[in-house]
Amino acid sequence: MNNQPTYVIVGASLAGATAAKALRDHGFSGRIVLVGDETELPYERPLLSKGYLMGTDERAKIYVHQESWYAEHAVELLLGRRVTLLDRVAHQVELDTGERITYSKLLLATGASPRRLRLPGGELEGVHYLRRVLDADLLRETLREGRRIVVVGAGWIGLETAAAGREAGCDVTVIDPQPAPLLAALGSEMGAFFAGLHRRHGVDLRLSHTVTALKGSGKVASVRTDDGGEFAADAVIVGIGALPNVDLAEQAGLSCDNGIVVDEMLCTQDPYIYAVGDVANSYRPFYGKHLRTEHWANALYGAPVAAQAMLGQQVAYDKLPYFFTDQFDVGMEFSGWIGRDGYDRLVTRGDVDGQAFHAFWLSDDRVVAGMHVNRWDDGIAPVEDLIRSRRRVDPDRLADVSVPLTAHVLV
């Protein structure tokens, strides 16, 4: 392969490993180099806050491919190495070892990093962030001890780790400045649903409050809030969002705005460089604008599109945003995008109190987003069909479980 093209992928992640597979699946016979700064094989992150964290899934389940797959498919896996320089003129990347690799095409799958808690006591021992498998290993041991856990942030990571903590027998307090969990993602109504779910399982939700300091001598012992409250803590889990890892792209002069800006083919303004996954702010033809999403599906479905585009195929990444969660006895799938303009009506269909229903976010009687909770027979596909139709629905028929969730609910 020495005289053949070299495709370099920066980021040994789900997106990176999936892109490598797609390149081979679509006939690329050149050299593939996959570089990652972790020593772990490429893995999927959702289980880190779900089954792996709770100890119900073994470590082997998190990996994208078995170790042997990389050798069998001639993918050079460079782990524990960091790309420190991107030289667009020379078409090279430089590693922290000083080695330079020349690329024919380059894919940036550098992901995102957790926002840090910039408060007094934020660097104390016992303060956890959950992004990498080593983070999950440390937190898993903490949960096994059944200690007092304070979670800062009632987003997806916060609620999933809170659920894992309660199921491990820990006392769990969640603190968030918003009046409802998941407010930005789901709005107040479904935020209230998840608040009720957690309270029923013994989570102490402290909403509309901010954390002002973490206290302790060397190790965290308590968390203080803006109302003067103080909560004992053997460990603190911080889940206050993530920032795209754009340093390499910015240093190379690539356009960055809430991520690396790419077109519908996931190509940057440099025709030899692509970006995918959490770091990519990609143009979505369906919405007519750029979106950056940080969920598993974005990496899984975007990577094959990037690979095909790198091979010169005319493709477009136009999947609807999708995410899922598992918390206590609730499994949920969500699809769509509420956007800055939000929604003017929420319609539920099914038994909300019984935790088996669909929810639809409407704008001008058009479905812009929807989710199901424990409704696996219908699933998320009908929701996506309604979103893509762009047609108005009859809210009453939409809410009526006796009306099939198909074109029968359209006006």
Query: Do 85 and 127 belong together in one domain?
Result: no
Residue 1, pLDDT > 50, answer no
Q: What is the pLDDT of residue 406?
A: 86
| Percent of the chain scoring above 70 in pLDDT | 100
Average pLDDT, the chain: 96
CB atoms within 10 A of CB 84: 14
Query: Do 139 and 177 belong together in one domain?
Result: yes
Query: Do 236 and 257 belong together in one domain?
Result: no
Residue 216, pLDDT > 50, answer yes
Which one is predicted more confidently, 346 or 54? Answer: 346
Residue 74, pLDDT > 80, answer yes
Answer whether residue 320 is part of any domain.
Answer: no
Answer whether residue 304 is part of any domain.
Answer: yes
Choose the final residue of a domain: 240, 261, 279: 240
Query: Do 63 and 91 belong together in one domain?
Result: yes
Answer whether residue 363 is part of any domain.
Answer: yes
DSSP code per residue over 68-102:
HHHHHTTEEEEES--EEEEETTTTEEEETTS-EEE
Domain CATH number, residue 58: 3.50.50.60
How many domains is the chain partitioned into structurally?
3
Condensed to tens digits (0 to 9), the pLDDT of residues 121-158 reads 999 999 999 999 999 999 998 888 878 999 999 999 99
Residue 254, pLDDT > 50, answer yes
Q: Is 41 helix (H, G, I), strand (E, B) or coil?
A: coil
- pLDDT, average across residues 66-83: 98
Answer whether residue 296 is part of any domain.
Answer: yes
Give dist(CA 290, CA 242) in Å, integer: 18
Q: Give the range of the structural domain holding residue 231, as residue numbers without chain letter.
A: 116-240
CB atoms within 10 A of CB 395: 16
In degrees, rounded to 5, the angle at the alpha carbon of residue 151 between the alpha carbons of residues 148 and 152 is 140
Which one is predicted more confidently, 237 or 2? Answer: 237
| Percent of the chain scoring above 90 in pLDDT | 91
Give dist(CA 58, CA 51) in Å, integer: 8
Contact 154, 176 (CB under 8 A): yes
CB atoms within 10 A of CB 3: 6
Q: What is the pLDDT of residue 393?
A: 97
Answer whether residue 83 is part of any domain.
Answer: yes
Condensed to tens digits (0 to 9), the pLDDT of residues 18-41 reads 999 999 999 999 999 999 999 999
Give dist(CA 405, CA 381) in Å, integer: 10
